[in-house]
């Protein structure tokens, strides 16, 4: 991109800067291009296709691209769909809430009370989450199973006569497993936000004679709220769509929307409906997210 002599005359400095920036961003985009093209093909295009297909209808082994909202009307009116959708949202919400509450003290401990080898602590806490999700969920099946670790252990100790039925194949089992499997997603942002708090601020509050409990509620908790919110989202969003956990430890009473989506692409073989369910799931997650943000915003204004 050479400058023409006439263009270079008047606002010379601005033009030069402009060309430089354009050059620079052009070079940047060139480097980004391979990644963006691949993500475009594997993420953006499929997503558009999925949106389109959600408006089609399955007829036998074929689709009719009749562009109707039939799938969505079915999802919103038939109890099977609404029940599973609401259940997935509530179960993910409960699991997220439990996890955030359980993880907060640990993050607090690491941020304020550990003074050496923090990196090793962080690695050990996050290590399991990089490894096989399937196996970590399977571990809970081993623990909660009818003849699993808990039941056979308690029977061996003579505390119960026969296995507890409710352990496996229940919503509680799914929530426990989700909490265990996704804890790092809630942990990391909360830890980072606590770590960033300026310690001198806390000393100032201590010097002014504020008791530790008040200091926690008036300084530490508010300052860590961005991390809590980020952690909530990072865990809530992926858990709504999970189907591995409900399949392995949930049973029919704890089936989630992910199971239904999977079935549409499997035995039920209604791909347009599967696409519509996937899109409905994303939309409802977004809706819950917006509601949560509004709630947090309202709380903050009220607290002031």
Q: Tell me: does residue 240 bind another protein (CB under 8 A).
A: yes
- Looking up tokens 């961005």 gives 226
Give the contact letters, 259-288, x = binds to another protein (CB under 8 A), - = no: --xx--x-----x--xx--x--xx------
Q: Which one of residues 8, 16, 43, 290 is an interface residue with another protein (CB under 8 A)?
A: 43
CA distances (Å), origin 278, targets 85, 198, 241, 255, 257: 11, 43, 9, 15, 9
Rounded to a whole number of angstroms, the minimum distance from the CB of residue 238 to another protein is: 5
CA dihedral 187→106→166→91, nearest 10 degrees, is -30
For residues 68-97, which are near another protein according to CB under 8 A?
none
Rounded to a whole number of angstroms, the minimum distance from the CB of residue 184 to another protein is: 9
For residue 55, how many other CB atoms are within 10 A of its CB? 18
Q: Which one of residues 2, 5, 10, 35 is an interface residue with another protein (CB under 8 A)?
A: 35
For residues 95-114, which are near another protein according to CB under 8 A?
102, 105-106, 108-110, 112-113
CA dihedral 198→204→205→208, nearest 10 degrees, is 180
- Looking up tokens 């074929």 gives 62
Nearest Cα to 224, choosing from 192, 200, 193, 184?
193
Q: Which one of residues 12, 16, 80, 124 is an interface residue with another protein (CB under 8 A)?
A: 124
**Residue 250: CB partners within 8 Å, gap ≥ 6?**
169, 170, 171, 173, 174, 256
Rounded to a whole number of angstroms, the minimum distance from the CB of residue 193 to another protein is: 9
For residues 151-190, which are near another protein according to CB under 8 A?
151-153, 155-156, 180, 183, 188-189
Rounded to a whole number of angstroms, the minimum distance from the CB of residue 293 to another protein is: 13
């Amino acid at each position: 991109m050479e400058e023409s002599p006439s263009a270079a005359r008047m606002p010379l400095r601005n033009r030069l800067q402009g060309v430089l920036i354009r050059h620079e961003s052009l070079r940047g985009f060139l480097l980004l291009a391979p990644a963006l093209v691949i993500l475009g093909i594997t993420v953006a295009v499929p997503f558009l296709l999925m949106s389109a297909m959600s408006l089609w209808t399955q007829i036998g082994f074929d689709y009719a691209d009749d562009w109707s909202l039939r799938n969505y009307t079915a999802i919103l009116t038939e109890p099977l769909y609404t029940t599973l959708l609401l259940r997935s949202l509530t179960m993910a919400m409960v699991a997220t809430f439990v996890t955030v509450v359980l993880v907060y003290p640990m993050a607090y401990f690491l941020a304020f009370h550990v003074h050496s080898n923090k990196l090793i602590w962080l690695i050990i806490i996050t290590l399991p989450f990089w490894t096989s999700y399937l196996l970590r969920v399977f571990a809970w099946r081993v623990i909660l199973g009818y003849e699993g670790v808990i039941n056979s252990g308690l029977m061996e100790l003579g505390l119960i006569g026969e296995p507890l039925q409710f352990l496996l194949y229940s919503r509680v089992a799914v929530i426990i497993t989700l909490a265990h499997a996704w804890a790092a997603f809630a942990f990391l942002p909360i830890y980072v936000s606590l770590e960033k708090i300026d310690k001198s601020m806390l000393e100032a509050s201590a010097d002014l004679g504020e008791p530790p409990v008040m200091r926690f509620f008036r300084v530490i908790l508010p300052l860590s709220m961005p991390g809590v919110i980020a952690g909530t989202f990072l865990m809530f969003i992926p858990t709504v769509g999970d189907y591995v956990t409900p399949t392995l430890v949930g049973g029919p009473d704890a089936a989630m929307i992910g199971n239904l989506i999977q079935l549409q692409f499997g035995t039920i073989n209604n791909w347009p409906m599967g696409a519509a369910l996937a899109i409905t799931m994303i939309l409802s997650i977004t809706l819950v997210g917006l509601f949560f943000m509004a709630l947090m915003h309202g709380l903050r204004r009220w607290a002031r």
